């Protein structure tokens, strides 16, 4: 009698581990996953990008034009990387930079609403890269994360849910068939090819892996002092951070230090573990979210915590997002509304709901006006007017937040008018296109499958080079752990805008903190800080919020000796501002100025605070007579 063969260990693991988390299965990489989290990511990441674009508008003159601190001549003389691409090189004037940021904001708005989503995601990446390459002196770690996400999202179908594209797709289908069911949201979930999503997930995990690896040589991280040193950076801390630094005992600081290391090291392993799921993935995301909550509360690093927490949505299961969607809807059960004799005025409502949510009654109804129709909850009694509106609105996204506005007759009439106009634009016109639709869709699907192989190869090649690019930053006993990348591959990564370094507060938090002040000396003996217009102060400013937070990165980079062209330009701009633009009279003109880095060295935990120091970075004479007196 033949004995039954037992499956091997690998096969057993493949069978017992959840298929959607098992990276040993080909389907994990090349199968289908829910597209719903991708749509939510598009909306939230787009909102953050929009804020960033709007924050650039007031900085257009000073930081992104030839009239500002870093004109193209100075940028290309040593501050720009040699292998770069930026459309902003062709927009030198302040008004051009302003127009550029306005166009960027418009592209992001279209991306958020999901109009021509693929095109907008490509345009957005080109614009993001152009902005970052135009002034690298003001970038921070959050900008690098945003640029990485903007690159990888170009390859994902972001418009399958919550988008104008999804509506347009269903309306086109309805026009071809004339069947009301074809305008409805599909009951079956829409899916996306998994491979590009896996690539962006790996890119996010690399952020945590390499920032943890780069902390290994740092003694402060090993002995639990790193958080203390980080919170001494007053220009980066919040008032809560200052209070926490002064109040918390060393053991609590050390606990946060070690929790930071744990959250960073554990992230990749927890979110990609093929077993213990989804509990491990949820744990990894929660630990990282707790880390970023702490950073957001204690420090003022623009966008950093927000962009990474938003990126966690890419690790969500579709059913998690759908559950959250249902919680934000006010629906208590399915709703029935009447059919129409002609074009259904509630066609837009039908286009954003499933048949299981809003069903059509068999009887036809003459829709008289905004309140002249009925709705019923399941088999319940029919209601009209405000009650009907709110019953149907409960089936729509986020209705818990906005359905109260339907109490206003003006709101209802405006919506009614807009919906009727939209419905009239899409009359059902059944034609021979219906018969051809299915074969055409099959041919399109076949073309997509043929494209998947080269796309997967290309994205794998890109990610492999990104990993190599990161490995070069890792050293052991002062030597890189891997050989330097060939020049061609380095240029490839640089031109793609995927250059990155995750040495944040690693291997040791920065051991000094400071800001730039510009003492301006006027002919009447007055001395002012030209950055603020106020008398000089001997302290360090709190971390800035809003658009001016960009200046913090500029201050840190200008404190190095290699920035003389920028310092000279900045000084000259101040001379022109006071002596030409404001046209101060003789005797009150700006005579000389210095650009000074006002800083303090960090101190060991438990020791007194170090005194403030000044380092003169640049001395400038605005008027020739004062330059002659100084012997220049």
- pLDDT tens across 394-419, in order? 999 999 999 999 999 999 999 999 99
Is 596 inside a domain boundary?
Answer: yes
| pLDDT value at residue 3 | 52
| pLDDT value at residue 9 | 59
pLDDT tens figures, 304-338: 999 999 999 999 999 999 999 999 999 888 999 98
> What tokens appear for 2 in the block?
């033949």
| pLDDT value at residue 1 | 47
Q: What is the mean pLDDT of residues 552-562?
A: 84
Q: What is the mean pLDDT of residues 14-35?
A: 87
CA distances 499 to 81, 205, 489, 495, Å, are 10, 16, 11, 9
Q: What is the mean pLDDT of residues 81-90?
A: 94
Do residues 486 and 589 both lie within one domain? Answer: no
The total of other beta-carbon atoms located within 10 Å of residue 77's CB is 11
Do residues 536 and 614 both lie within one domain? Answer: yes
Do residues 600 and 529 both lie within one domain? Answer: yes
Do residues 483 and 516 both lie within one domain? Answer: no
| pLDDT value at residue 595 | 96
Number of domains into which the chain is organized: 2
Res 268 pLDDT > 90? yes
| pLDDT value at residue 436 | 39
Do residues 534 and 591 both lie within one domain? Answer: yes
| pLDDT value at residue 432 | 35
Last residue of a domain, one of 496, 520, 538: 496
Do residues 549 and 470 both lie within one domain? Answer: no
Do residues 516 and 607 both lie within one domain? Answer: yes
pTM confidence score: 0.92
Is 29 inside a domain boundary?
Answer: no
Is 30 inside a domain boundary?
Answer: no
Q: What are phi and psi of 488, to 5 degrees?
A: -65, -40
Do residues 468 and 543 both lie within one domain? Answer: no
| pLDDT value at residue 437 | 44
Query: End-to-end alpha-carbon separation of the chain, Å?
Result: 105
Is 390 inside a domain boundary?
Answer: no
Res 516 pLDDT > 50? yes
Q: What is the mean pLDDT of residues 381-387?
A: 91
Is 520 inside a domain boundary?
Answer: yes
Please provide the average confidence, as pLDDT, over all residues in the chain.
Answer: 90
pLDDT tens figures, 223-237: 999 999 999 999 999
Q: What is the mean pLDDT of residues 168-175?
A: 90
Q: Which of 99, 98, 110 is nearest to 46 (CA)?
A: 110
Q: What is the mean pLDDT of residues 113-125?
A: 98
| pLDDT value at residue 426 | 76
What is the distance between the alpha carbons of residues 161 and 150, in angstroms, rounded to a whole number? Answer: 19
Res 293 pLDDT > 50? yes
| pLDDT value at residue 15 | 60
| Lowest-pLDDT choice from 56-70, 182-196, 559-573, 598-612 | 559-573
Res 463 pLDDT > 90? yes
- Are 291 and 260 a contacting pair, CB within 8 Å? yes
Is 578 inside a domain boundary?
Answer: yes
Is 571 inside a domain boundary?
Answer: yes
Res 366 pLDDT > 90? no
Q: For residue 486, give its domain range.
A: 439-496
pLDDT tens figures, 237-261: 999 999 999 999 999 999 999 999 9
Give the contacts of 422 (CB within 8 A, at least 6 positions apart): 347, 348
Peptide bond into 278 cis (omega under 30): yes
Do residues 443 and 482 both lie within one domain? Answer: yes
Give the contacts of 563 (CB within 8 A, at least 6 positions apart): 79, 137, 557, 617
Do residues 455 and 542 both lie within one domain? Answer: no
Res 379 pLDDT > 80? no
Res 444 pLDDT > 60? no
pLDDT-derived band at 14 (thresholds 50, 70, 90) equals low
Q: What are phi and psi of 613, to 5 degrees?
A: -130, 160
- Are 289 and 309 a contacting pair, CB within 8 Å? yes
What is the distance between the alpha carbons of residues 490 and 493, in angstroms, rounded to a whole number? Answer: 5
Is 200 inside a domain boundary?
Answer: no
Q: What is the mean pLDDT of residues 450-469?
A: 94
Res 82 pLDDT > 80? yes
pLDDT tens figures, 272-285: 999 999 999 999 99
What pairing do the DSSP bridges indicate for beta strands 358-365 and 335-340? parallel
Do residues 480 and 516 both lie within one domain? Answer: no
Q: Which residue has the higher pLDDT, 631 or 549?
A: 549
Q: Which residue has the higher pLDDT, 428 or 480?
A: 480
What is the distance between the alpha carbons of residues 153 and 239, in angstroms, rounded to a whole number? Answer: 36
Res 210 pLDDT > 60? yes
Res 431 pLDDT > 50? no
C-alpha of 250 from chain center: 34
| pLDDT value at residue 26 | 92
Do residues 472 and 561 both lie within one domain? Answer: no
Res 435 pLDDT > 50? no
């Amino acid at each position: 009698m033949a004995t039954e063969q037992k499956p091997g260990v690998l096969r057993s693991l493949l069978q017992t581990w959840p298929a959607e988390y098992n990276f040993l299965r080909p389907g994990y990489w090349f199968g289908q996953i829910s597209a719903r989290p991708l749509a939510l990511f598009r909306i939230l990441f787009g909102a953050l990008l929009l804020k960033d674009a709007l924050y650039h508008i007031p900085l257009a003159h000073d930081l992104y034009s030839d009239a500002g601190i870093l004109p193209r001549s100075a940028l290309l003389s040593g501050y720009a990387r040699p292998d770069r691409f930026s459309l902003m090189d062709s927009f030198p004037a302040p008004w051009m930079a302003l127009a550029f940021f306005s166009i960027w904001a418009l592209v992001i708005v279209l991306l958020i609403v999901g109009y021509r989503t693929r095109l907008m995601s490509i345009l957005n990446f080109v614009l993001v890269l152009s902005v970052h390459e135009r002034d690298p002196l003001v970038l921070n770690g959050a900008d690098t994360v945003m640029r990485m996400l903007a690159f990888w999202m170009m390859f994902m179908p972001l418009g399958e849910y919550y988008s104008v594209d999804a509506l347009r797709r269903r309306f086109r289908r309805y026009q071809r068939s004339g069947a009301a069911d074809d305008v409805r949201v599909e009951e079956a979930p829409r899916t996306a090819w998994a491979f590009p999503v896996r690539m962006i997930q790996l890119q996010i995990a690399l952020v945590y892996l390499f920032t943890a690896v780069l902390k290994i040589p740092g003694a402060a991280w090993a002995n639990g002092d790193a958080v203390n040193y980080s919170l001494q950076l007053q220009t980066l801390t919040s008032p809560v951070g200052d209070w926490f630094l002064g109040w918390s005992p060393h053991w609590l600081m050390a606990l946060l230090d070690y929790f930071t290391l744990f959250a960073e090291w554990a992230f990749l392993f927890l979110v990609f573990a093929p077993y213990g799921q989804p509990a491990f993935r949820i744990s990894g995301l929660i630990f990282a979210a707790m880390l970023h909550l702490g950073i957001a509360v204690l420090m003022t690093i623009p966008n950093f915590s927000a962009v990474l927490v938003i990126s966690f949505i890419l690790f969500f299961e579709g059913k998690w997002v759908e559950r959250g969607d249902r919680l934000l809807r006010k629906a208590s059960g399915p709703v029935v509304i009447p059919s129409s004799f002609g074009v259904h005025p509630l066609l837009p409502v039908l286009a954003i709901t499933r048949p299981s949510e809003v069903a059509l009654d068999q009887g036809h109804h003459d829709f008289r006006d905004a309140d002249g129709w009925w709705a019923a909850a399941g088999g319940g009694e029919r209601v009209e007017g405000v009650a009907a509106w709110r019953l149907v609105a409960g089936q729509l996204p986020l209705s818990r937040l906005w359905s109260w506005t339907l109490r206003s007759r003006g709101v209802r009439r405006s919506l009614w008018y807009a919906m009727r106009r939209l419905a009239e634009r899409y009359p059902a016109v059944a034609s021979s296109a219906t018969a051809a639709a299915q074969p055409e869709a099959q041919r399109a699907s076949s073309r997509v499958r043929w494209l998947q192989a080269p796309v997967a190869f290309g994205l794998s090649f890109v990610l492999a080079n990104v990993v190599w690019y990161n490995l070069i930053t890792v050293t052991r006993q002062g030597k890189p752990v891997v050989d330097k990348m060939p020049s061609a591959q380095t240029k490839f990564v640089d031109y793609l805008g995927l250059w990155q370094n995750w040495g944040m507060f690693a291997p040791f938090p920065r051991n000094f903190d400071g800001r730039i002040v510009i003492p301006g000396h006027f002919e009447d003996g007055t001395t002012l800080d030209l950055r603020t217009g106020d008398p000089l102060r001997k302290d360090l400013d709190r971390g800035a919020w809003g658009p001016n937070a960009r200046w913090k990165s500029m201050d840190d980079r200008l404190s190095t000796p290699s920035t003389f062209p920028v310092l000279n330009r900045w000084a000259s701009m101040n001379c022109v501002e006071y002596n030409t633009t404001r046209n101060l009279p003789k005797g009150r003109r700006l005579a000389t100025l210095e650009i000074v880095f006002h800083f303090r060295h960090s101190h060991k935990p438990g020791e007194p605070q170090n005194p403030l120091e000044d380092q003169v970075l640049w001395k400038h004479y605005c008027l020739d007579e004062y330059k002659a007196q100084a012997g220049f």
